[in-house]
Chains A and B, each alone.
Chain A
Amino acid sequence: MDQQQQQQQQQQQQASMTYQEFIQQNEDRDGVRFSWNLWPSSRLEATRLVVPVSCLFTPLKERPDLPPLQYEPVLCSRANCRAVLNPLCQVDFRAKIWACNFCFQRNPFPPSYAGISEVNQPAELMPQFSTIEYIVQRGAPSPLIFLYVVDTCLEEEDLQALRESLQMSLSLLPPNALVGLITFGRMVQVHELSCEGIAKSYVFRGTKELTPKQIQEMLGLMKPAASGQQGRPLAPPDMAATCRFLQPVHKVDMNLTDLLGELQRDPWPVPQGKRPLRSTGVALSIAVGLLEGTFPNTGARVMLFTGGPPTQGPGMVVGDELKTPIRSWHDIQKDNARHLKKATKYYEALSNRAAENGHSIDIYACALDQTGLLEMKCCSNLTGGHIVMGDSFNTSLFKQTFQRVFTKDYNSEFRMAFGGTLEVKTSRELKVSGAIGPCVSLNAKGPSVSETEMGVGGTTQWKVCSLTPATTMGIYFEVVNQHNAPIPQGGRGAVQFITQYQHSTMQRRIRVTTVARNWADAQSQIQHIEASFDQEASAVLMARLGVFRAETEEGPDVLRWLDRQLIRLCQKFGQYNKDDPNSFRLSQSLSLYPQFMFHLRRSPFLQVFNNSPDESSYYRHHFMRQDLTQSLIMIQPILYSYSFYGPPEPVLLDSSSILPDRILLMDTFFQLVIYHGETIAQWRKAGYQDMAEYENFKQLLQAPLDDAQEILQSRFPMPRYIDTEHGGSQARFLLSKVNPSQTHNNLYAWGQESGAPILTDDVSLQVFMDHLKKLAVSSSA
């Protein structure tokens, strides 16, 4: 089949599908969701669309149907292109030549492709393999490394629970993985795992900042400059040195189990009115230094388990005096957070070092008070590590979440990948503005780097030290085609994502996704473009931009920016008569978008009220990496209603949905709330469910529990599970999320059987929409 024909056929297919189906199909196949599925053909037009051409990309989206190729990808020979051969390339089977669809360079096929013909095509040329994976046999496979960094300043009960979790995790690790243990409290101990008999550990002062060189020297990792003075031959330095601290699990699991079993609480006395001295900063720097010195550029996970804030040494977040509370948003706004800047800078430097070497850092923080996630978040955010926040290590939330880090996929392989780099190649009309996700820039300059930065920009390559199948990046583009240089009808813009990573089986793999979208003239085809709008993806992509800004800008500024974007979008695509709000209409493809924005404005990602800085950091951390579905749940929680009147149904996230004879199940991603309406709660209290004749009531009570269980089973991190009822204190979780359509302010709703009033001064969706319409149609705006 001719290439041209193929494309035509594809376009025909596209035409016959709804955009809904097209979007779904693309997501399933390539893990890509674009904000626009038809691209405006000029820079000017693109900027007028308000929402940038951008996409959510899930590099390691699970594809059970995709067998990896056992050979290396064929690359374009042009030095500054190096794009991978893909189904969009023009191929001359007779001359055995292919043309790169990005730079148009004509490349001969390598000798191994001598046998190709129109009927004998390699997989990477087939349209259904727009996403394809290669296994590369380069270099010796390096083992996965898990370095546990454990806080010992815990209550005995917590420590016991943590000990058990850690011991259990040993059985979940890949048997050939290397494992290491660092414990810390007032001091930091690096445990040697290879020793027989006596248990050895290197101890460091928790207050002293050490350079990587010092750390490596003190751990005896430096290759001795001169050979041993007594002339004894030295063992190969790398193995001898590293073996002591990082050992294959299968060799040391007994040893390590014992070691963990004997793990004691930090023995230094904690005087009354003081916090325990916790040297988290030094412990992390030693972990990073150790890996840096022994396994640079190898997949490794530092797993930090901490039960409180760092209280001494570099990276300290709060002093040990209990009378000085840990910083709140209020303190930060008043510039009263003494350690904030210094600590943040310290952890950022550490994270960058870790990221440079492809090592990721997980933080498992379990405490009732804050633990300093605000300062430490970059450790995970920049290295692709997890953050898990809980009240105690002795909760199923922590235990199950931690287990879930080690879940396996349909091939019984770990759902984690390491040391990834993501490279984006674009056609000439498109440039890369930046990426938002758990990544750092690799500073790869090139012709396709845009000058307009969105997120982490100035590069076409990013390092993603740790990836899961759910890890999703937001990638932002800039259309650079000038208005006066029209693209011929039917022209297509293409983007290629090349993700190189270390698979959990230790193989190096490269996944290549090549996608293309049609260009459209925004003037003549604005309806088509409007129809191609993916409002879900766009909401998430704009939200990521907003949250990204919120990290550095004042909250109200970000909200204003978001509002302005929304108004502009409505102005552009709404149908209305000037200055007549009632005439305002939005087409179906945009109809949900304002509602997403309404909930986003209220979300903990942009509102810090009622959240500690740690919680904000935690919520933002997860928001910046989850895929579209989860992100949408975070923005606008899902509410299901259970009643005797029919099967469970999704209902509006609105106070009107709170009815006495209903059970509600709300999923906010972070919390699962089961709310029993007033009547249901009374019945339950009266014990009807235990009576044989009210079996149906029992089933009704059980239904949301079963559904919740299903969500609990699969989500990472495990959500906080809340079972509450009308009037219960925990009901606030539900009440703070629903649209306050009935409040104490609109009294007319009182006494009606149509929902529950919310005691809030927040505006309701109705008010929000009214304002939006007014502003959108205003001729002065």
Chain B
Amino acid sequence: MMSPPGPMAPGPLTPPLGSPPPMAAVPPVTGMSSPPMGMSGPFPGPPPMGGGAFQPPPAQMQGQVFPQQPGPYAGPMSGPQPGFPGGAAQMAGPPQKKLDPDSIPSTTQVIEDDQAKRGGQLYSTNMRGQVPPLVTTSFTAQDQGNARPCFMRCTTYTFPCSAELAKQSQVPLATIIKPLANVPSNEAPLYTVSHGESGPIRCNRCKAYMCPYMTFMEGGRRYQCAFCNCINDVPVSYFQHLDHMGRRMDVYERPELSLGSYEFSATLDYCKNNKPPNPPAYIFMIDVSFANIKSGLVTLVCQELKTLLDNLPREEGAESSVVKVGFVTYNKILHFYNVKSALAQPQMLLVSDVSEMFVPLLDGFLVNFNESRAVIHNLLDQIPDMFAETNESETVFAPVVQAGLEALKAAECSGKLFLFHSSMPTAEAPGKLKNRDDKKLVNTDKEKTLFQPTRGVYEQLVKECVTQGVCVDLFLFPSQYLDIATMGHIPTHTGGSIYKYSNFQVGADGEIFLSDLRKDVQKPIGFDAIMRVRTSTGFRATEFHGAVYMSNTTDVEMAAIDCDKAVTVEFKHDDTLSEETGALMQCALLYTTVGGQRRLRVHNLSLNCSTQLTDIYKSAETDALINFFAKSAYRAILSQPLKTVRDILVNQTAHMLACYRKNCASPSAASQLILPDAMKVFPVYMNSLMKTLPLVGSTELSTDDRNHHRLTLLSMGVEDTQVLLYPRLIPVHCMTVESEGVPSALRCSEERLTDGGVFLLENGRSLFVWVGQSCSPELLQSLFNTPSLAHLPTDMSSLPELDNAHSKKLRSIISSICEQRPNSMKLQVVRQKDRSEVAFRQLLVEDKGLCGGGASYMDFLCYVHREIRTLLT
């Protein structure tokens, strides 16, 4: 079990507000001079021969100036900086034997502490700048004027008052917004407000929507906008007297005056061409080339669709879904289907002119599933048979998307395309791709080309899709490289998702795929969305990361946005902020619901401002910070060599911590590493980020996997990046059948594994059950129904359903985990010392990286510490 946190040096700062925990943890990562920890040699030790990990930077590195670019990478590079000469791989120095791993800050401990302190409580959003519980903590939020953390989370809840201060601290100012996030069932859903025919009331100047921050004056006849300070007249129909406090009498009757999040029903002014939108349509586009037929995928999809289509998303309270459906199959050419309810048999329309795609039919292509049920069932039964004998192995891709787009254009609606695709599109058609997976580029300055999409048709398609509100979801079933960098460009810019099932087999991967498909189809989603983030004066939103499309610098366009997609917004000062008024932000999302209604969702959040660096560090949030760093690093690799990106990450980590040490911590021995309490575990996440597939330069990694990882992360929210970068390791053998609880998670390190144990490891993308060599036969029997380890099948994709408490418990743990995650995870059973253990071990993020390297947490921390010391002197 986890030992209690190691002895901590007393916090160097007096706690400023009452008695929260010490502001700084001083872990015993100290040098020789710090006897309590007893490190064997001076830290950093002499450079290990050959490894060169901690070698002082060579002279020529001193003056290196990195290209200026927006984002966090500009700051620290402006002056001569010590480089981080070795790649991540080289950081793997000899283990610091005597350093107790338990003594360095533990993520699991932090999570547990927060859960213990704030878990299960009611969190009211009535205070400006209050820091919410961690994402891992379960709590109930109550909207009292600020958006709940599930919608918006900030890297820090206290903004520095000036740009100088911000620059000094290097703490990025960003908010991760998940505008359509699912609201937990025990919290209140959003209210919908209608302001009548004239539409929502907005500030005349900055167009901010009516919100709790507006100040009413002159007896309620006017109000001052909190964002631009403009004084507006209150429309007569909206007039209300003020009470003795100067608040409107109806404050609590109107969600837009008392809540942080609410919706307006939009008027025709907010609709395309001033026409109410049509309900969206879903088009299922199945690649019926040889590979997909052979793998049994086509049969599987067709079978599933028959029942799945009963669960199309519908408007809250509506009896049935109004989403229309259409079907296309394709290989080198496209087959459209007429499934009009009046037909006895579906009709197939083949389009072989893929060079200029068009929709061959209007009437009967997009239909209501309920009305055309018989014809659709007939079609879905026939599709697998029709192509059973196919030997066509070539496919097209861009024309398929184009076809879907044209169909929705013709039907004048937004919607979603579901593509089930198997191979690189090599057939003669627009968007034809060539294999450009050149492993020789890895670790060179040209490595970025592996991440860059092929331009041309794909960019044009993205633009058209966004304009029409067409979201593209890719389900990929590749057996080899298919250039996800390019193909994934479309889903990631249209609010879609990419799912990848390499070497798909119905038996092993079928269930995972189907559960992904079900989730994806049923997901709450909004279409044809446009988001705008408004801020109070003094700062503004500058960068947007996510599955979005930007045609100008302020409007975030999204063909669609679902409940799992988040946008990370970075802010910059353009003036000083006042401590008194704080920093306000309002995120407004205009979108079309699945029922075809035009809505405006508004989230408001107010933050504190301070001239004290201490305040900034105190209200920082590590999980949000790491989300921001991950996204900006993943964006940076498109334009910069990986090494530069990694250097910047390390440097900024060191810089932020050095700034804290210099300005906030009380003086202490230089050898002491002092971390701000809120960022105690920041280094472990940073280190983990640098060990993720895209940032590790290794020829052993699949380029597609790296791109898939990269593109998926770009739209992740804070919850997803947290668990991705610090997986949960649960000792299954410790679970107590009697209690409800799940055993406490362990630190992700090999050292925590025991030969006799069974461990569950999960990061939101993969799910492992690791079985130790000397695991007890009873446990094996009760969990896997095998007498011994040797009999344990390793190709198990799900646990056997056994009627015993242990099995039930483990399965319920797994299913509850899967429920939390936006996508399904394939269960992999790994035996200790098996070859397949590599994938499992890669997720033990506190250890040295296996594939292509990466430092252990300990080494990284030491290195950062040394960097801090260099910065401080």
Contacts and interface: CB of A to CB of B under 8 A. Distances in A.
A197 B336 CA distance: 15
Contact of A218 (B290, B352, B363, B379): B352
Given A228-B391, A229-B391, A203 B349 contact: yes
Size range of the interface on A?
A: 20 to 34
A70 to B, nearest CB: 46
Contacts of A269: 362
B386 A230 contact: no
Interface string B290-302: 1000000000000
B351 A203 contact: yes
Max chain B C-beta neighbours (<10 A), residue from A202, A208, A269: A202
A746 B290 CA distance: 87
B360 A203 contact: yes
B353 A201 contact: no
B352 A220 contact: yes
B382 interface: yes
B393 A198 contact: no
A28 to B, nearest CB: 54
A200 B360 CA distance: 12
A187 B361 CA distance: 8
B358 A205 contact: yes
B350 A203 contact: yes
Given A230-B391, A262-B343, A267-B361, A201 B356 contact: no
A203 B391 CA distance: 22
A232 interface: yes
Contact of A198 (B347, B363, B391): B347
B393 A230 contact: yes
A690 interface: no
Contacts of B346: 198
Nearest to B381: A197
Interface string B381-411: 0100010010101000000000000000000
B348 A199 contact: yes
Nearest to B391: A230
A229 B423 CA distance: 15
B338 to A, nearest CB: 9
Contact of B352 (A208, A219, A230): A219
A113 interface: no
Contacts of A203: 336, 349-351, 360-361
A267 B364 contact: yes
Given A205-B358, A230-B290, A268-B362, A189 B393 contact: no
A102 interface: no
A208 B353 contact: yes
Helix, strand, loop or mixed for chain B's interface?
A: loop
B788 to A, nearest CB: 43
A519 interface: no
Size range of the interface on B?
A: 20 to 34
A21 interface: no
Interface in A458-499: none
B345 interface: yes
B488 to A, nearest CB: 27
A573 to B, nearest CB: 64
A201 B349 contact: yes
A214 B351 CA distance: 13
Contacts of B362: 267-269
A663 B529 CA distance: 78
Interface string A188-213: 01000000011111111100101000
A201 B348 contact: yes
A217 interface: yes
A590 to B, nearest CB: 62
Contacts of B351: 202-204
Contacts of A219: 352
A283 to B, nearest CB: 14
Contacts of A205: 353, 356, 358
Interface string A575-615: 00000000000000000000000000000000000000000
A264 B363 CA distance: 10
A521 B602 CA distance: 108
Given A228-B391, A229-B393, A267-B362, A201 B345 contact: no
A242 B363 CA distance: 29
A198 B349 contact: no
Contacts of A189: 349, 360
A197 to B, nearest CB: 6
A187 B382 contact: no
A187 B357 CA distance: 12
Contacts of B382: 197-198
Contacts of A202: 349-352
Contacts of B379: 198
Nearest to A259: B347
A208 B354 CA distance: 12
A293 to B, nearest CB: 14
Max chain A C-beta neighbours (<10 A), residue from B345, B350, B386, B391: B350
Nearest to A201: B349
B374 to A, nearest CB: 14
A189 B348 CA distance: 11
A214 B355 CA distance: 11
Contacts of B363: 264, 267
A199 B343 CA distance: 11
A201 B346 CA distance: 12
Contacts of A198: 345-348, 379, 382, 386
Interface in A275-321: none
Interface in A164-199: 187, 189, 197-199
B343 A200 contact: no
Given A230-B290, A230-B393, A218 B353 contact: yes
B356 A208 contact: yes
Nearest to B394: A229
Nearest to B334: A203
A270 to B, nearest CB: 12
A189 B393 CA distance: 25
Given A219-B352, A267-B363, A197 B345 contact: yes
B393 to A, nearest CB: 5
A766 B335 CA distance: 70
B391 A187 contact: no
A234 to B, nearest CB: 9
A204 B351 CA distance: 6
Contacts of B350: 200-203
A219 B351 CA distance: 9
A203 B361 CA distance: 9
Max chain B C-beta neighbours (<10 A), residue from A198, A220, A269: A198
Contacts of A262: 343
A219 B336 CA distance: 15
B347 A201 contact: yes
Max chain B C-beta neighbours (<10 A), residue from A214, A218, A269: A218
Nearest to A202: B350
B389 to A, nearest CB: 8
Interface in A214-230: 214, 217-220, 228-230
Contacts of B364: 267
B531 to A, nearest CB: 34
B390 to A, nearest CB: 9
A328 B51 CA distance: 90
In the A-B complex, the 8 residue pairs with the closest CB atoms: A203-B360, A218-B352, A267-B363, A230-B391, A200-B348, A202-B350, A199-B347, A203-B349
29 contacts: A187-B358, A187-B361, A189-B349, A197-B345, A198-B348, A198-B379, A198-B382, A199-B345, A199-B348, A200-B348, A200-B350, A201-B350, A202-B349, A203-B336, A203-B349, A205-B358, A208-B353, A219-B352, A220-B352, A228-B391, A229-B290, A229-B391, A230-B290, A230-B391, A232-B391, A267-B361, A267-B362, A267-B363, A268-B362
Given A187-B360, A201-B350, A203-B361, 13 more contacts: A189-B360, A197-B345, A197-B382, A198-B347, A198-B382, A199-B345, A199-B347, A229-B290, A229-B393, A230-B393, A267-B361, A267-B362, A267-B363
Interface of B: 290, 333, 335-336, 343, 345-353, 356, 358, 360-364, 379, 382, 386, 389, 391, 393
